[in-house]
Amino acid sequence: MTTFTDLGLIPDLQNALDTLGFEKPTPVQEKSLNVLLHQTTDLVALAQTGTGKTAAFGLPLLQQLDSNKRYIQGLILAPTRELCLQIGREMEKYAAQMPQLKITAVFGGANIDTQAKTLKKGVHILVATPGRLQDLMRRRLVKLNQLEVCVLDEADEMLNMGFFEEVKAILRHTPEDKSTWLFSATMPKEIRKMANELMHDPVEIAVGEKNIAAKGIHHELYETTSRNRYATLKRLVDIEPQIFGCVFCRTKRETQKIAERLIEDGYQAAALHGDLSQNQRELVMASFRNRNLQLLVATDVAARGIDVDSITHVIHYQLPDEPEVYTHRSGRTGRAGKKGKSLIIATSSDRGKCSRIEKRNQIRLEKKTIPGQAAVGRAHLSQWIDSFQQVDSNPSLEAYYQQALEGLDHLSKEDIIRQLVSQQLSRFAEKREHFDLNETSSEKSKSTPKKNKDGLRFQINVGERDDYNWGAVKDLVVGLTQIDINDIYHVDTYRNYSLFTAAPEYQEQIFAAFNDLMIDNRSIQVSLSTSKKGKKPSGNIQSFRKKYKKRR
Ligand code: ADP
Ligand code: MG
C-alpha cells in the first residue's frame, strides 16, 4: 500500500491526515501528489465529485508554502461560497499542525469589510469566488503579484456559471511564472480551451472516468407524465420510509415550489438554491447534516456545496440537459463506499436524454414501475413493525400501563393490532392519488411546450459585435437566472444588442440577475424592449443561423 509519506508528504501534513483518518491516498491524490510534490508545473486533473480533489491540490499547496513570507502565495478559485467555505474548512484541517499558516475564504454575500480586515492581517492561502475576489482587487485589498500557485477548482462549474472572463481577468494580475492547477469533474471542449489559454504545457491526470458505474450506485428510471411528476416523487419517497435524500430540480423557482409542496404534505423537506441568503443556506445545510431534514430539494449549482456522506437517494425530479450534470448529481450518493440509489422521474420526451446519460457514463438505467399505493403502505407497515418491536418497555411507566390495560381490556389482541395498523397507515387509506402513475400510451399528453404568446420582450446590450449569437444569449440568460432553457425563446441578435422573450413572471428574476452585472469590465444591462422590430417572429433557427453566418 502506498502511503502519503511514500509519495513525499512531510510529517506535519501526514500527522494531520492520521488524525482525520485518511489512511491512504485516493487515486487522484496519488497521481496528483506524485507530480506536484516533486515538480513545478501546470496541471490539469480530471476526477469526479467525491474523489478527494481538495487534498489532491491542498496538500501540495500547503507543503510548498513558506509561512515566513507574508503575502498570498496560493489562490484557490471556486464557483460558489459554499465550496469556498468547504475548501477553507478542509484546508484548515490539513494544516492543523501548521498554526502559523493563514487560510482565508472570501465570497460574495458576506461583509466585505470583515473580509478586508482579515486580509490586512496577512494571508498565505486565499480561497475565493471570482466575483468577490475581483471586488477586493479593485479596492486594492488583495495583491496577487507574488502568487505561486493558482488552483481552479470545479473548473467546469465555473465555466457553466460564466466565470471564465473573470478568471482570466484575475490571472492577468498574477505572475507569469506561477503554476496553475485546474481541477474539474468533467472535461468539455471549453475546459480544454480554458486550459490552453491559461496554462503552459500542463501535466494531465485523469482518474475514474467511469467511476459512477463502479460506485455502488443503482440507477432507476420511472416514466410518468408531466402532470404526475409530483405524485410520482411522493410515491418514490413514501416507498422508502428511511430515505435521506436529495431531490434535484432545474430551476430555483421549481426547487422552491417542490420543497413547499413537500412541506405542506408533511415531509421534512427544505429548499437549497441561490436566492436564499447565505445564512439561510447554512441553516438548511446544518439541518440536513443533522438529519432534521429528510429531503433536501436543490438546484444543481447550490448542490455543489453538499458534502454529506450518507445520502441514500438522489432523485432527479427533472433531468438535466447535460449528461455530466447527471453524474454530478448522482455522485452525491454512494459516497465513502456506501450503496446508493439514483432515481429518475422522466416523461417519454426525456428518452433521448436517458440514452445519452447511459452512453456517456456507461451505466444502465433500469426501467422500473412506479409502485402502487398498496406497495407503499406495505413498506411503511414493515418498517413500523420493525421499529415497534425495538421499543423498550419502560418500567417507570408501569402505572400508565395498568390504566391502558384496564381501558383496553375488552379488546382482543387482533382488535388491538387492527387499531394500531389503522392509526399507522391512515394516510395511505385516503382516496387521493391511488391511481397508477406509470405512463401509459393512452395517457400520453402531446408534450410540445406551449410558448406563452404574452411573453415579455427583453433587450440586453450585447450583440453580434460582442460575439454573441442566439445560443450565447440564451446561455447567458439561462446561466444567470437558472430559468429553464425552454422558457427563454425568440432570441434575436443584432449588432449592438439582443432580444429575447420570457413569461412576465420571470421579469423580476431576470432583472435581479442582471443587476450590477459586469462581464469583461463592461456593465451588462437588461431592459424591457419597446422595439417593434423585436416582435417579429424570428423565423426558424436554421435560417437565422445562416443569416448570422453570412453577416460575420
Ligand atoms: P471532491 O472535491 O473530489 O468532490 P473532496 O475533496 O470534497 O472531494 O473529498 C470528499 C470526501 O472524502 C471528504 O469528506 C474528504 O474528507 C474525504 N477524503 C478525501 N481524501 C480522503 C482519503 N485519502 N481518505 C479518506 N477520506 C478522504
Ligand atoms: Mg471538490
CA of 22 to the centre of ligand 1 (A): 9
Residue 49 has pLDDT above 90, yes or no: no
Which three three-digit cell numbers place residue 303? 448542490
Atom of ligand 1 lying closest to residue 51 CA: 3
- Residue 45's pLDDT is 95
**Does the structure show a pLDDT above 90 at 142?**
yes
Surrounding ion ligand 2 within 5 Å at CB are: 53
Range 377-391 average pLDDT: 85
Q: Ligand 2: distance of its center to the CA of 465 in Å?
A: 37
What local confidence, expressed as pLDDT, does residue 531 receive? Answer: 62
Higher pLDDT, 423 or 184: 184
In this structure, what C-alpha cell is assigned to residue 175?
505572475
**Rounded average pLDDT over 59-68:** 96
Q: Tell me the mean pLDDT in the region 244-254.
A: 93
Going 37 to 40 to 41 to 43, the CA torsion angle's sign is positive
Could you report the per-residue pLDDT of 259-295, keeping only the tens digit for each?
999 998 889 999 999 888 888 888 999 899 889 999 9
Q: What pLDDT band is residue 544 in, cutting at 50, 70 and 90?
A: very low
Ranking 182-186, 363-367, 486-490 by mean pLDDT, the lowest is: 486-490
Kindly state the average pLDDT of the residues 91-114.
94
Question: Which tens digit of pLDDT belongs to each residue from 426-485?
Answer: 766 655 556 778 876 444 443 334 455 678 999 999 988 888 888 889 888 988 888 887
Q: Report yes or no: 429 and 422 within 8 Å, Cβ to Cβ.
A: yes
CA of 25 to the centre of ligand 1 (A): 9
φ, ψ for residue 398 (rounded to 5)?
Answer: -50, -45
So what's the pLDDT on residue 57?
98
Q: How high is the pLDDT of residue 109?
A: 83
User: Does residue 235 register a pLDDT over 60?
Assistant: yes
Domains and CATH numbers, the chain: 4-206 (3.40.50.300), 217-372 (3.40.50.300), 374-429 (no CATH), 441-551 (3.30.70.330)
State the pLDDT at residue 540: 41
pLDDT of res. 551: 40
Give the closest residue to 199 by CA, choosing from 211, 191, 207, 209. 191
Q: What is the mean pLDDT of residues 61-84?
A: 94
Q: Which pLDDT score is estimated for 430?
A: 56
Of the listed ligands, the closest to the CA of 211 is 1
* Mean pLDDT computed over 329-348: 85
367 contacts: CB under 8 Å, gap ≥ 6: 221, 223
